[in-house]
A and B are shown apart, each in its own frame.
Chain A
Amino acid sequence: AQKVTQAQTEISVVEKEDVTLDCVYETRDTTYYLFWYKQPPSGELVFLIRRNSFDEQNEISGRYSWNFQKSTSSFNFTITASQVVDSAVYFCALISSTGRRALTFGSGTRLQVQP
């Protein structure tokens, strides 16, 4: 069975602070993909990143960076110099190469960035 845990239910920061959203996953498969999605107040799900299990390189995209560590089954997401527009719910998700081929989502972390 697959599982994604986002232990942080809600985080509140002040603009320009850095913030890290944690994601821990469980799967028995050796080939899998990890994702982060953003859900702004408008409700749509916005794809942020996809990482496969064989690529442990960290990735940086502007103010966003992701740290993938297989040893701890974690795929954490950091926003540097947060902005009010970053306020949203962020979901980590997992899909394995076998099984149902459907995304298993974490429960999400609500990020509030205060001006």
Chain B
Amino acid sequence: DSGVTQTPKHLITATGQRVTLRCSPRSGDLSVYWYQQSLDQGLQFLIQYYNGEERAKGNILERFSAQQFPDLHSELNLSSLELGDSALYFCASSVAEFLDDGYTFGSGTRLTVV
């Protein structure tokens, strides 16, 4: 168990719908990162939050948004879903705002859009 908890593990939804993925970071970690792993794009960085504030943005679509709450858990919201959004979504956490010893990844949420 990495200490980073992602829920749900699996999600199947229809095109056009909206879903929320949840991530609880490892105890003591202030940074949360979201990554998407798809067959055509590989592993891509989406967004980072540190202590409740957005810190870095990657290749995140406008239909996607995220936030980090006061208890440091984070949610990734995906709306107007398309077939191409089907992917494995990983959350990772670290103590510092900038990488120190590396990330600890959660086990991922597998999203299937049908």
What is the interface of chain A, defined by CB distance below 8 A to chain B?
Answer: 33, 35, 37, 42-45, 47, 50, 91, 93, 95, 100-108
Is A44 in contact with B43, judged by CB distance below 8 angstroms?
no
B104 at the interface (CB under 8 A from A): yes
The reply to whether A45 and B98 contact each other, CB–CB distance below 8 Å, is: no
* Closest Cβ neighbor of B97 among chain A residues: A101
CA distance A106 to B105 in the complex (A): 17
Pick the residue among B43, B97, B99, B103 that contacts A47 (CB under 8 A).
B103
Q: A102, B45: Cβ atoms under 8 Å?
A: yes
Question: Are A101 and B110 closer than 8 Å at their CB atoms?
Answer: no
Interface residues on B, range: 20 to 34
The answer to whether A43 and B56 touch (CB under 8 A), given A105-B42, A105-B43, A107-B42, is: no
Interface contact tally, CB-CB below 8 A: 53
B50-102: which have CB < 8 Å to A? 55-58, 88, 90, 97-99, 101-102
The CB with the most chain A CB atoms within 10 A, among B90, B103, B104, is that of B103
Q: Is the CB of B56 within 8 A of A102?
A: yes
Question: Could you say which residues of chain B place their CB within 8 Å of the CB of A106?
Answer: 42
User: Which B residues are closer than 8 A to A by beta carbons?
Assistant: 2, 33, 35, 42-45, 48, 55-58, 88, 90, 97-99, 101-108, 110
B45 touches A100 (CB 8 A): yes
User: B108 touching A35 by the CB < 8 A rule?
Assistant: no
Contacts of A33 in B (CB 8 A): 99, 102
18 A-B pairs besides A47-B102, A91-B43 with CB distance below 8 A are A33-B99, A42-B107, A43-B88, A43-B108, A44-B106, A44-B107, A45-B90, A45-B108, A47-B104, A93-B43, A100-B58, A101-B48, A101-B98, A102-B33, A103-B43, A105-B42, A107-B42, A108-B43
